[in-house]
Amino acid sequence: MIFTPLSVEENLRLGAYTLESGKKIGAEIDRVMAFFPDLRERLSEPASNLSGGQLQMLALARGLLARPRLLLLDEPSLGLAPLVVRELFALIPALREEGITILLVEQNVRQALAVVDRGYVLESGRVILGGTARELMENKLLVESYLGTLESRPRD
């Protein structure tokens, strides 16, 4: 939850409350801001001035300040502009390099499979398909059922 009357920095400091000292908090905020350069420029602004995509990034940045081993991302692309979605998905490999395990729930199958190691397809709450990202992208059932093919798309 983002507190919109508070500044971006104040929201971040709330996420870093478990850190011991102000010096360490500042260093951690700097570390996380490397992932979110747009937010760095707006640290003193109220969170209410941010766009939907920037609010999503702020929520993610605040969560990262806790140095989680596991990060759950539930539909992070929902309602965001395509450019923001690309930026968000570009972060996932960098976060993985930091040693963070990411559990991603996402309906945008193509983008999700581009950044994950493994994937699972759920239908009515049951796993109906699973495998590596490459295996899933090459799975004919998945492509026809969920991704579509050029042949199955309506022509203009």
- What distance in Å separates the CA atoms of residue 43 and residue 137, rounded to the nearest whole number? 40
- What distance in Å separates the CA atoms of residue 43 and residue 9, rounded to the nearest whole number? 5
Given a contact cutoff of 8 angstroms between Cβ atoms, the answer to whether 84 and 78 are in contact is no
- What distance in Å separates the CA atoms of residue 108 and residue 78, rounded to the nearest whole number? 9
Residue 151's pLDDT band (cuts 50, 70, 90): low
Total residue count of the chain as it appears in this document: 156
pLDDT at 120: 93
Residue 24 pLDDT > 80, yes or no? yes
Count CB neighbours of 100 within 10 A: 15
Residue 10's pLDDT band (cuts 50, 70, 90): very high
- What distance in Å separates the CA atoms of residue 9 and residue 33, rounded to the nearest whole number? 10
CB-hemisphere CA count at 13 Å for 44?
A: 0
Percentage of residues of the chain with pLDDT beyond 70: 92
Beta pairing class for 101-105 and 118-123 = unpaired
Count H helices, E strands: the chain? 8, 4
R_g (Cα) of the chain, nearest Å: 18
DSSP state of 53: H
Average pLDDT in the 119-128 region?
90
Structure tokens at 97: 């390099």
Percentage of residues of the chain with pLDDT beyond 90: 60
Residue 140 pLDDT > 60, yes or no? yes
Q: pLDDT tens across 73-123, in order?
A: 999 988 888 888 898 999 999 999 999 999 999 988 889 999 999 999 888
pLDDT at 149: 61
The pTM assigned to this predicted structure is 0.80
Residue 19 pLDDT > 80, yes or no? no
Long-range pairs, 123-130, Cβ under 8 A, ≥24:
none
pLDDT at 21: 65
Average pLDDT in the 46-66 region?
93
